[in-house]
Structure 1
C-alpha cells in the first residue's frame, strides 16, 4: 500500500488528495495527542524544563523529574525499581543485552519484538505462542542448573493476542529464570491502570523484568525498564545508560500531571471497543481476528486495506518487522474515534 505523507499531526481524519479519510492506524490507542489539556501539560513542561536535556543522567546538575517519574511508575506498577530511557527500543535493547550476558540460555517467543532479541536470534514465526510455552516447559525439564532468559512481548499485535504467562509456574525448579516482557503495547491498556503488566506477573517463579515504550498509548517519547534492585543497578551502571541522553524532560513532567486524563481516555477507548465489536454480525466476526481486551483487529484473509480505503477508511498496512515480510492489514481503534467513525468502519467491514 502506498505511503501518505502529510504536513500536520495525525488525527482521526486524514485529508489526502482532496478527500478525508477516517484514520484507523498508528499506536495512539488513547488518543492523547487530541487532548488539549494534555498538550497544555506538555507546553508547561517544556516551559519549565526546556525543549530537551542532552546531558548524562549522572552529570553534576540533574533534573528531578526523571527520578520522580521512575519512582511513580515503579510504585504504581508494583515493581521495586524503574529506569527511564529515551526510547522503548533502547530500554528493550539494553535489557536484553544485559540479560544475554547473565544467562546460559535464551528462549525467545515467536513474536518477540526486535528490541528484545539478541542480534543473531531469529524466532520461528510459524510457531504459536502456546507451542512456544509448551516447548519452554519441556526444555526446562531437560535442563538443570542453568540461568535461562525468557523473552516475550506482552501482546502479539499482529495476531492479535494478549499473552498469558501462568505457564511459567510449570517450569522446572532446577533452573533460575529471568522473564523479560515487552509492555510497549500494554502500557496504558493492560494490567494495573496505565502501568502495564508487572504487577500481574511479579509472583511467578522468575525474576521479572518489564520494558517498553511510553510513546504509544501514553504519548511520551521515552522508555521504561522495571525490575529488582540487582537488575536496575546493572542498567544504571551500564555505559549505555550513563552515556545516553535521557528523555525530553518536559514530556516527563507532563506525564506526571496527566493521570486523570489517561484514566478518562482509557474509559473512552473501552467504550469504543465495546461499541465497535458490538456492531459486528457473526459473519463479519468470522472474517476477523481480535481480542476484546485489545484495540487491534486483523483479518483472516489479505487485501482489506485497499478495499477499505475505497470506502474512506485508512487502516494500517505495511511489511513488519522485516521489509521482506508480507504486508499486515490491521484496524487500530483509538479513544479519539467518534461513534460516527465507528459506524462508518463497521459498515465498511461488513460490506466486504
Structure 2
C-alpha cells in the first residue's frame, strides 16, 4: 500500500484523495463523523469566539473558566454518574486514575487492556475475558486480601467483543472492589450513546470508575472520568490533574450543545452497521459484534485486494508494531448506504 497515505495533507473523511485517485475510507475512530460535521464545526467556532483557542493554565489556577465545571456536571448527568472530571486527553485520564487508585488495593488487569491503563510494564494477562473473569472470582474469594483494583476495557475494538461485567456480582461482597473500565471506544456508541457506565454492576462493595477519550465518537480532544463524588474528589487532588492544562474550552462548549447531533449521527451509524452486519452474517471470514461498527477480517491480504478496488480499510499491527496485520472495516456515520453497497459488492467479488 502507498506509504503516502501516512503523510496525508487533506482531512480524513469517507473519501480520501491520493494521486488523482479517490478511495472509500473505512478506518479510524470517528464513529459519529464529528470531525467533518458542519453543525458541530459551527458550534466549535462559536466556542472559540466565546472562550478563545486554548487555555494553558492548570486546574488549580486562581483564575478559572467556569465552563470546565459546567462541562463536568453536564457529562456526569449525561452519562449517568454522580460526578466527573475532564482532562486534556483520554491517556491523561487513564494514567491519573490508575496511578492514584492502584495504590488502594491489589491490582489485576483483564486481557487486552489498553496500554493507556498500564502502570509500568505490559500486564502478563492472556486468554479470553470469560476465563480470566472466572479465575479472578476464585482468586479474590479465596484470598485474605480485602481490597482489589480490577482494570479492563469495556470492549475490544480490535477483535470486536463487548465484555460482560456481571461476574463482579459473584465476588464475595465482603471484598472491596474498585472497578476501572476504559470506555473510549464505547462511549457515544453503545447503550444508545451513553456508554457502559450505567450498565455496570451497582453493589455496595464496588466502586465503579469509567474513563474515556472523548476524541473518538464524540469528536472532542479531551479525556473523561466518571465515578462517585468521593472518587472524583480524590482524583482531583492528584498532581496529574492539578498540574496539567485543561482541554480547549471551545470543544467542551460544542460537546455540551451537540446532543441532537450525536443522536442523529448514532441513528445513521446503526442503519449502516445493521446493513453490513446483515450482509456478512453468514460469512465465517468476518468477526463482529452486535451494534458495534467494527468488522474484523480473517482473510489474508484482503487489504490489498480492497485497495485495488478503491477501498481503504484499517490495516496495521497493534499493539506490537512487528506483529500480524489487523484488518478491519470501521464504519462512520459519514458513510452513506451507497458506500456500504459498494463495499459489499467489492467483498462479494
Using structure 2 for the length normalisation, give the TM-score.
Answer: 0.96
SS at match of 1:317: strand
- How far has the Cα of 1:2 moved from its partner? 5.0
Within a 5 Å distance, the mapping from 1:1-352 to structure 2 comes to 3=3, 4=5, 5-103=7-105, 105-125=106-126, 127-191=127-191, 193-204=192-203, 205-280=205-280, 282=282, 285-351=283-349
Q: CA 1:280/1:301 → structure 2, altered by over 3 Å: closer, same or farther?
A: closer
Q: CA deviation at 1:258?
A: 0.7
Deviation >4 Å, runs of 4+: none
**1:241 counterpart SS class:** helix
1:218 deviates by 0.2
Is the CA contact 1:145–1:174 (under 8 Å) kept in the aligned structure 2?
no
Deviation at 1:202, TM superposition (A): 4.8
User: Deviation per CA, 1:42-78, whole angstroms, max 9, x where unpaired?
Assistant: 1110111000000012212111111111101111222
Whether contact under 8 Å (2:169, 2:201) holds in the other structure is no
In 1, distance between residues paired with 2:174 and 2:280?
A: 49
CA distance in 1, matches of 2:298, 2:65: 49
* Count of aligned pairs between the two proteins: 346
Q: Secondary structure of 1:291's match?
A: coil
**Pairwise CA distance, 1:343:** 0.7
Q: Distance in 1 between matches of 2:235 and 2:194?
A: 20
| 1:148–1:178 Cα contact (<8 Å) kept | yes
CA contact (8 A) 2:269 2:333 kept: yes
Is the 2:274–2:291 contact (alpha carbons within 8 Å) kept by the matching residues of 1?
no
Deviation per CA, 1:98-136: give whole Å up to 9, x if none. 122111x111011110111211242334x0111111111
8 A contact 1:22–1:314 mirrored in 2: yes
Cα deviation per residue 1:203-222 (whole Å; 9 max; x = unaligned)? 14521000010000000000
Q: Shift in Å at residue 339 of structure 1?
A: 1.2
Q: CA RMSD in A?
A: 1.4
Hey, what's the Cα distance between the residues in 1 that align with 2:2 and 2:10? 18
The Cα of 1:184 is off from its aligned counterpart by 0.2
**Secondary structure of the corresponding residue to residue 279 of structure 1:** helix
- 1:160 and 1:291 in contact (8 A); partners too: yes
Shift in CA distance, 281/292, structure 1 to aligned 2, threshold 3 Å: closer
Q: 1:298 to 1:177 in 2, by over 3 A?
A: same
Looking at structure 1, the residues matched to 187 and 253 of structure 2 have their Cα atoms a distance apart, in angstroms, of 18
For 1:2 and 1:221, how far apart are their aligned partners in 2? 29
Shift of 1:229: 2.1
- 1:33 and 1:67 map into 2 onto residues whose CA distance is 25
Name whichever of 144-153 and 156-165 sits farther off: 144-153
- What TM-score do you get using the length of structure 1 for normalisation? 0.95
CA distance in 2, matches of 1:279, 1:318: 25
Which sections of structure 2, spanning at least 5 residues, go unmatched? none
Q: Structure 1: 5+ residue runs without aligned partners?
A: none
Worse overlay, 262-271 or 134-143:
134-143
Deviation track 1:191-239 (CA, whole Å, cap 9, x = no partner) reads 3x43311111151452100001000000000000011122211211111
Q: Distance in 2 between matches of 1:203 and 1:281?
A: 34
Secondary structure in structure 2 of the residue aligned to 1:237: coil
Seen in structure 2, the aligned counterparts of structure 1 residues 2 and 328 have a Cα distance that, compared at 3 Å, is: farther
Q: Secondary structure at the match of 1:152?
A: strand
> Which stretch shows the higher mean deviation, 223-232 or 2-11?
2-11
